[in-house]
């Protein structure tokens, strides 16, 4: 007969599993909960582990947001970042607050994405259809139409 695991043994194992995950990168509370559920830890053990991690600042929402912003400053729009962090269980308000504190500007990522799509081509040599394809690409990446237009305008002004 198999012996039932006791809670005294499971809590250290759950903490150890969480520490192994957190040693690679920051995780949100939702992500840690899902990972521990996948390892079939009981809900009470998961709650105790999450409480311990928060209490000792191993789970830090602000640090997670700041590191995500730093790593995606040049590649993702504000809308994409909000969407990805929402999937991780982070509130939109917390993300917006930290973006504001850090002086986040979508224009940096937008200019980088536009340069990537131009791939060294001269803006004046593009056809209307090519510009529309680039606009559609940038819009699908989460950039606002007005920002895209403004970026094109700034690029034209830099040429002249």
What's the pLDDT tens digit per position in 140-160?
999 999 999 998 888 776 655
> What is the reported pTM?
0.78
> Terminus-to-terminus CA distance in the chain, angstroms?
82
> Are 54 and 4 within one domain?
yes
* pLDDT at site 160: 55
Q: At what angle do helices 145-159 and 106-118 cross, to 10 degrees?
A: 60
Counting residues of the chain whose pLDDT is more than 70, the rounded percentage is 92
> Are 117 and 94 within one domain?
no
> Are 97 and 118 within one domain?
no
> Are 110 and 69 within one domain?
no
> Are 51 and 3 within one domain?
yes
The span from the CA of 38 to the CA of 17, in Å, is: 11
Helices (H), 23-127: 29-38, 43-55, 61-72, 78-87, 92-101, 106-118
What's the pLDDT tens digit per position in 82-138?
999 999 999 999 999 999 998 888 888 898 899 888 888 888 888 999 999 999 999
Residue 91, CA distances (Å) to 15, 58, 96, 98 in order: 25, 18, 9, 11
Domain of 149 in residue numbering reads as 106-159
> Are 75 and 115 within one domain?
no
> Are 54 and 86 within one domain?
no
Mean pLDDT of 68-93: 92
pLDDT at 3 over 60: no
User: What's the number of CA atoms in the CB half-sphere (13 Å) around residue 63?
Assistant: 11
* pLDDT at site 119: 85
* pLDDT at site 14: 95
Q: Report the number of distinct structural domains present in the chain.
A: 3
CATH of the domain at 48: 1.10.10
Give the residue with greater pLDDT, 29 vs 119. 29
* pLDDT at site 1: 36
- DSSP states of 95-120: HHHHHHHTT--HHHHHHHHHHHHHTT
> Are 1 and 53 within one domain?
yes
* pLDDT at site 5: 54
Q: What's the whole-number average pLDDT of the chain?
A: 89
């Amino acid at each position: 007969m198999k012996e039932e695991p006791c809670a005294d043994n499971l809590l250290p194992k759950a903490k150890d599993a969480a520490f192994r995950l957190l040693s690679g990168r920051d995780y949100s509370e939702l992500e840690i909960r899902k990972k521990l559920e996948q390892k079939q830890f009981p809900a009470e053990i998961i709650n105790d582990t999450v409480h311990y991690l928060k209490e000792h600042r191993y789970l830090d929402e602000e640090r997670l947001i700041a590191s995500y912003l730093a790593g995606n400053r040049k590649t993702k729009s504000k809308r994409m970042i909000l969407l990805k962090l929402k999937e991780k269980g982070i509130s939109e308000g917390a993300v917006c607050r930290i973006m504001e504190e850090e002086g986040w500007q979508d224009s940096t990522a937008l200019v980088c994405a536009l340069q990537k799509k131009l791939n060294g081509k001269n803006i004046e040599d593009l056809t209307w259809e090519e510009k529309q394809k680039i606009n559609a690409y940038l819009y699908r990446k989460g950039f606002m139409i007005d920002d895209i237009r403004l970026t094109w305008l700034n690029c034209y002004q830099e040429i002249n």
